[in-house]
Structure 1
Amino acid sequence: MKLLVVLVSFLAACKAQNPEPCTSPALLSGQLTLATQNEQLWAFARYLYDALGQRIRLQEMGFYQNKSFTYDALLLYREGVMYEINNQESTCKKRALRADFHPMAVPRNASLMGQAVLGSSSGPGQGVLVNTWTGHLPDNARYLVTVTEFGCIPISTSYRTQPFGWMVTSFFNNVIGISDPNQLNPPGFCQDALHEEPIDFFSLFHMMK
Structure 2
Amino acid sequence: MYAAVLLFVFMCWTASAHADQHHPCRSPNMTGLLSVMGAMGEVRAVGVFTYDSMHKKLRFQSNSSLPMNVTLDLDLLVFFEEGILYKIDSKNQSCEKKSLQSKKHPFAIPNDATYISTMTSGSTFIEGEGLKFQIWTIPTPGYKGQSLMCATMGCLPLSTIYMTDSSMFIYSNLNVELDIKDPDLLVVPPFCQGLHVEETPEGTVYGFYEEFL
How many residues align? The count is 182
Distance between the aligned counterparts of 1:98 and 1:204, measured in 2?
11
Structure 1 residues 20 and 58: alpha-carbon distance in aligned structure 2, compared to 1, 3 A threshold:
same
Name the stretch that deviates more: 180-189 or 25-34. Answer: 25-34
Q: Which residue of 2 aligns with 1:9?
A: none
Q: Which residue of 2 aligns with 1:205?
A: 212
Structure 2 residue corresponding to 1:174, chosen from 176, 180, 205: 176
Question: What are the ranges of 5 or more consecutive residues in structure 1 without an aligned counterpart?
Answer: 1-16
The 5 Å alignment of 1:81-160 reads: 81-87=84-90, 89=91, 91-102=93-104, 104-105=108-109, 110-116=114-120, 118-134=121-137, 136-138=139-141, 139=143, 141-149=145-153, 151-160=154-163
1:90 to partner: Cα distance? 5.2
1:45 to partner: Cα distance? 2.4
Query: What percentage of residue pairs aligned between the two structures are identical?
Result: 24
- Report the RMSD for the aligned CA atoms in angstroms: 3.2
Give the structure-2-normalised TM-score.
Answer: 0.68
SS in 2 for 1:189: helix
Structure 1 residues 105 and 80: alpha-carbon distance in aligned structure 2, compared to 1, 3 A threshold:
closer
1:185 to partner: Cα distance? 0.3
1:38 to partner: Cα distance? 5.2
Q: Which residue of 2 aligns with 1:12?
A: none
Question: What are the ranges of 5 or more consecutive residues in structure 2 without an aligned counterpart?
Answer: 1-18, 201-205
Q: Which residue of 2 aligns with 1:187?
A: 189
Task: Name the larger-Rg structure.
Answer: 1
One-letter amino acid of the counterpart of residue 84, structure 1: K
SS in 2 for 1:144: strand
SS in 1 for 2:74: strand
Deviations 1:72-116 (A, max 9, x none): 1111234443322233x2512131323343471165562423411
